[in-house]
Amino acid sequence: MDQLYMRRCLQLAANGRQNAKPNPMVGAVIVAADGRIIGEGYHVRCGEGHAEVNAFASVRPEDEVLLSEATIYVSLEPCSHYGKTPPCADLIIRKGVRRCVVGCVDPFAAVQGRGIQKLRDAGIEVTVGVLEEECRELNRRFITFNEKRRPYIILKWAQTANGFLDDNGKACAISTPFTKTLVHKLRAENDAILVGRITNEREQPRLDVRHWAGKAPRRIVIDRRQPAFEGLDFSKPVIPQLLEWLHKEKCQSLIVEGGARTLQSFIDADAWDEIRVETAPFCVSGGTAAPKLPTNVHLVSHKVYDHNTIATFHRQ
């Protein structure tokens, strides 16, 4: 049963996709001893109440008496710190529920297990790790940013059926109107986007989100001819410096959109979390070869849109 209620938490959490950022998406469900859901909530918007606050607020006055025997399910560990809002762990203790089921630990430096400890110290039974993988997956940007102190990195390219990025050096139309829309959706979901200087000059990509609602990611162009760029030292490996700078700038995720050399340098540096390859059904006689997929990839989805396919890989 724990999994069932946690799945509901995940469903609720996903409602925060547009507005919770830079906070994680979190859902909470309060279940009475008889299995009835008496409260539900999710983190709607950064700066506003957390999932637990909204879940308790939704409990009807006549159900309040059930709280002492109830279980609260939360997809992320309840916070223990004063941020923009007071600690959820304190709220849970005050409400006097019997048990708390947590999807995954909050890697945020101010929390990191302290919320769970607070609850246990108060005598609440705590179970950690129900649907853990899915809970971490939902907030993979937030989690990678906090655990690895760098943004979640998505490498993305579009290729012909025989693995070329262009038609003998000339741009060729690979994406379809529909997959272009998906690219704009992807951009709206991420904080920064990077292209190499050559791609930037040759294709003058707009890198905007005009076919989707939301904010365009911050645009970054690597130009080795301008060594002064944000203090980057081109005599040393650039990627670690760039990632450190993005972390400082609070960018939780980065899309790398090309060209081939830039993409390959991220693969060679093992600096990636997700790879998204769009493939058109036609061949060209030659051109710029697509990057070589690393060997430790794990296919998570393969979809057909119009006449193209989009394959998404995570790390193994």
Interface residue list for ligand AOF (CB under 6 A): 23-24, 26, 43, 50-52, 76, 78-79, 83-85, 88, 106, 108, 111
* Minimum gap (Å) between residue 188 Cβ and ligand AOF: 20
Stretch that binds Zn ion, among 9-17, 50-58, 166-174, 269-277 (CB under 5 A): 50-58
**Residues listed for the chain:** 316
**Residue 115 labeled ligand binder:** no
* Minimum gap (Å) between residue 143 Cβ and ligand AOF: 10
Residues taking part in catalysis? 52
Of 8, 43, 50, 118, which one interacts with Zn ion (CB under 5 A)?
A: 50
Residue pair 176/183 in contact (Cβ under 8 Å)? The answer is: no
**Residue 207 labeled ligand binder:** yes
SS3 242: helix
What is d(CA 234, CA 224) in angstroms, rounded to the nearest whole number?
Answer: 7
**Residue 260 labeled ligand binder:** yes
Other Cβ atoms closer than 10 A to 141:
25
What is d(CA 206, CA 213) in angstroms, rounded to the nearest whole number?
Answer: 16
Q: Which residues contact 82 (CB under 8 A, 6 or more apart)?
A: none
Of 20, 25, 79, 260, which one interacts with Zn ion (CB under 5 A)?
A: 79
Residue pair 255/193 in contact (Cβ under 8 Å)? The answer is: yes
By C-beta, is 43 or 156 nearer to ligand AOF?
A: 43
By C-beta, is 72 or 290 nearer to Zn ion?
A: 72
What is d(CA 31, CA 69) in angstroms, rounded to the nearest whole number?
Answer: 9
Strand 37-42 relative to strand 27-31: parallel, antiparallel, unpaired?
antiparallel
Tell me which residue of 302, 312, 297 sits closest to 255, measured CA to CA: 312
Residue pair 16/44 in contact (Cβ under 8 Å)? The answer is: yes
**Residue 18 labeled ligand binder:** no
By C-beta, is 108 or 157 nearer to ligand AOF?
A: 108
What is the sign, positive or negative, of the torsion defined by CA atoms of 219, 225, 226, 228? positive
* Minimum gap (Å) between residue 248 Cβ and ligand AOF: 17
Q: Which residues contact 133 (CB under 8 A, 6 or more apart)?
A: none
Partners of residue 274 on adjacent β-strands: 154, 314
**Residue 242 labeled ligand binder:** no
**Residue 114: which of ligand AOF, Zn ion, none does it interact with, CB under 5 to 8 A by kind?**
none
By C-beta, is 26 or 310 nearer to ligand AOF?
A: 26
* Minimum gap (Å) between residue 242 Cβ and ligand AOF: 23
* Minimum gap (Å) between residue 95 Cβ and ligand AOF: 14
**Residue 106: which of Zn ion, ligand AOF, none does it interact with, CB under 5 to 8 A by kind?**
ligand AOF
- Residue set of the binding site for NADP(+): 158, 199, 259-265
- Residue set of the binding site for Zn(2+): 50, 79, 88
Please report, as ranges, the residues that interact with Zn ion according to CB under 5 A: 50, 79, 88
